Amino acid sequence: MTDFGIKEALNTLGLKDINEGTSTGLDNFSSGTIIESYSPVDGKLIGKVKTTSKEDYQKVMTAATAAFSTWRTMPAPQRGEIVRQFGQKLRAKKEALGKLVSYEMGKSYQEGLGEVQEMIDICDFAVGLSRQLHGLTMHSERPGHRMYEQYHSLGVVGVISAFNFPVAVWAWNTALAWVCGDVCVWKPSEKTPMCGVACQNIAAEVFAENNLPEGICNLINGDYTVGEMMTTDVRIPLISATGSTRMGKIVAKEVAGRLGKTLLELGGNNAIIVTPDADIKMTVIGAVFGAVGTAGQRCTSTRRLIIHESIYNEVKDAVVKAYKQLRIGNPLNENNHVGPIIDQQAVKMYEDALEKVVEEGGKIIVEGGVLEGQGYESGCYVKPAIAEAENSFKIVQHETFAPILYLLKYSGDVENAIGLQNGVAQGLSSAIMTNNLREAERFLSVAGSDCGIANVNIGTSGAEIGGAFGGEKETGGGRESGSDAWKVYMRRQTNTINYTTDLPLAQGIKFDL
């Protein structure tokens, strides 16, 4: 079987082929246990990294805090120039990094390239932002006084990212944090450590070429115990964590206990409402990509399709027909639509979910199952499945990180569909398919979707970096990427200047001496 250029990609990224005898990343730290990264694509070993011990962590934090004292004093536009150079490096290595993302995580090569493009896009956004970190000037109630607000660098930002977007989410946080004058400590998922090493290598090149401290960009590896070092560390004023709601609750409690700040982007249970005025062709495209893209392992993946009873059978038949055309296989082969899910634990969750929906009274209309045989040796390839269900089912209320789509039927007007859409604990992404202006506006109104993202005539999956990304309820309330998300990476300060020879007090208080 061809390796689709993986060896070449690893070399380009400074990660020598493990099968040639090189243990990638083992020299990063002096101690720690070894993590082996196996590809869900073919089950082969990609490389090894060492976990970060407590002693190693202290070295990293010492370097990071020292680097911050230098980095924060550099003018923001100059920091933006460094981010611009990082974006240029990503452009040069886009194909290689995209292949590594595909090979280590399992998403299609085109999605891997798209993820790296998101990194490039956020760098471009951050470069422009570096000249627009605006404060606010307001009138003082006291004569001869000027009052304004400004934003200052926050410090060391801790980033905990998930396996499903092993590079883009880190870049969303880091590019903005860098232009804001912060330094970063990143713990990538232990399921995709090689992607983390590759990004660290690229960033290190940029900082070395500009004679800047290495501690501006820091990588630590390991499981939740390494994350605990970050969440309990008072030297890290902000923890940005992406992952499950269960993980987010633990992080939020720990960081709040020391009065730190969190940016949480957690689970999603996303739905598309399909009204009688929907364009069926557009609906099928949005629903199928939303449900099977990244093998259902996006936080914005479409989990529920809420269809009006008058068109239910028509939509169901169209989606089922589209599923029959899906090609499942090596994601580096661009002829395939669906690659593997991340590991055997994920396979077990997928199988359990299909069993539970039937136990609760649901009906499987597109059979699932684990694929076996040539090309599927890793045991991580599963069939995208569809089940008819009720919104009240416990399994439907739960986010299963796998390609399972639940079809739900609604009657009456769009308010009933919105009630189903909002009737879950999560609140990340949502969509409505309709050509009815009133329905669209109702969906987007204050009494409409309760999600952080609400789309009309596009699916739930796929976000542009220009808008703030995140959700409400058990999704955590955090916002990453565009818009004014940069403010969370800075501390806000109000300043009042008296340019007179008198000292009047606020609120007209008199205090004569």
Which residue numbers are catalytic?
Answer: 265, 299
Residues contacting residue 285 through CB under 8 Å, at least 6 positions apart: 459
Give the β-pairing of 183-187 and 217-219.
Answer: parallel
Q: Which two tokens stand for residue 84?
A: 């611009």
Give me the long-range contacts of 416-422 (CB less than 8 A, separation at least 24). Answer: 417/273, 417/275, 417/306, 417/308, 418/273, 418/442, 418/443, 418/447, 418/448, 418/449, 420/271, 420/304, 420/306, 420/391, 421/271, 421/273, 421/304, 421/306, 421/449, 421/451, 422/449, 422/450
d(C-alpha 287, C-alpha 304), whole Å: 9
Question: Strand, coil or helix: what is 307?
Answer: strand
d(C-alpha 427, C-alpha 266), whole Å: 9
d(C-alpha 23, C-alpha 364), whole Å: 45
Residues contacting residue 460 through CB under 8 Å, at least 6 positions apart: 268, 270, 271, 272, 286, 290, 300, 301, 302, 429, 430, 431, 453
d(C-alpha 439, C-alpha 414), whole Å: 7
Q: Could you identify the residue written with the tokens 């196996």?
A: 38
d(C-alpha 146, C-alpha 129), whole Å: 26
Instruction: With CA atoms as reference, report the closest residue to 113 among 125, 126, 104, 100.
Output: 100
Residue 23 φ/ψ, nearest 5 degrees: -90, 100
- Mapping DSSP onto H, E and C, the string for 59-85 reads HHHHHHHHHHHHHCCCCHHHHHHHHHH
Q: Which two tokens stand for residue 334?
A: 């661009």
d(C-alpha 378, C-alpha 359), whole Å: 29
Residue 227 φ/ψ, nearest 5 degrees: -60, -35
Residues pairing with 38 in the sheet: 45
- What is the C-alpha R_g of the chain? 25
